[in-house]
Amino acid sequence: MGLRSSRHLSHLQKLNSLISMPSALNFLRLHPQCAVFHFRTYSLVRFDGSPVERVDKHPFCMARVYYNEKEETVWFQASDGTHRWQQSASEIRILVPNLRARAKEIDVIICSESLKISSVATGEVFLEGCLQHRIIVEESVWDLDEDEGVLTVYLQKMNIELFAKPHEHSESEWTSLFRDSFKIMWDDCAKNYQDLPEPVMKLHRIREAKEQECRLSDNRESKERDAARELDDLRRRTRMARLGALRGFSVCDGM
């Protein structure tokens, strides 16, 4: 598990006291994931599960944002290796490895606020939880690579918060997959906003065009000011030269 903080130890003590209650004990037997998710940590990995070094942390917890170019994709993997996930502005992608089964033997239940992956035959639950935010069920799908034993789930974000604040693209970010699972750090990886919802992307492009126009206008004005300043300097130097010449002529003439 790693190092325990005093807060974790306090939580363990409370959990132990709750377990002594019959109702709580029965609940934990039925939902064992609730007892472990609180302490579950994660690591940054690639698609194949190989580790990725954490990026150098910015002192203000800033992360790079990109809208067009492609960058190496980082996945957040649970410490127990049961699953890993990543996100873009509009989609959550989940990988569940080591599922040696056929597609017809896997039951995937995708609801607007929850996800459950289990065995049809035995009922064994491979992954289950209440999603941190709502999704669009009709646009969410899953696929099983039977040769590799990897199940991939694609969840389409509903993005209620983003549509409420269309200029705040960070509102599309999930900080965890499930409400009670590990929370990721904001600056763990770059932000992929290539697939922002079309209305939001349209507003972004309009704003970018206006900002670009302002930058060009400011640049033109700056160049015009520089040119005017250089012209004034030239005129000033010319006047000084003429004045110097006139003064020199009058002095010589007086001699």
Q: 15-52: per-residue pLDDT in tens?
A: 555 444 455 445 545 555 444 444 448 999 998 889 98
149 pLDDT exceeds 80? yes
Task: Break the chain into its structural domains and give their ranges.
Answer: 1-30, 40-195, 197-255
Pairing mode of beta strands 150-157, 135-145: antiparallel
User: CATH assignment of 40-195?
Assistant: 2.60.40.790
Angle value at C-alpha 17, between 14 and 18, nearest 5 degrees: 85
pLDDT at 9 over 60: no
Mean pLDDT is lowest, of 59-73, 95-109, 160-174, for 59-73
The 8-class DSSP code of residue 186 comes to: G
pLDDT > 80? residue 210: yes
Question: Is 107:120 a contact under the CB 8 Å cutoff?
Answer: yes
Q: Is residue 178 predicted with pLDDT exceeding 90?
A: yes
Q: Which two tokens stand for residue 7?
A: 């807060």
Residue 159's CB is within 10 A of a number of other CB atoms, namely 20
More confident residue, 83 or 249: 83
Average pLDDT on 229-240 reads: 84
Assessment of whether the complete model's pTM goes beyond 0.85? no
pLDDT at position 56? 58
β-sheet with 106-110: strand ranges across: 106-110, 114-119, 125-130
pLDDT tens, position by position, 11-22: 445 555 544 445
Q: What is the mean pLDDT of the chain?
A: 82
Is residue 55's pLDDT more than 80? no
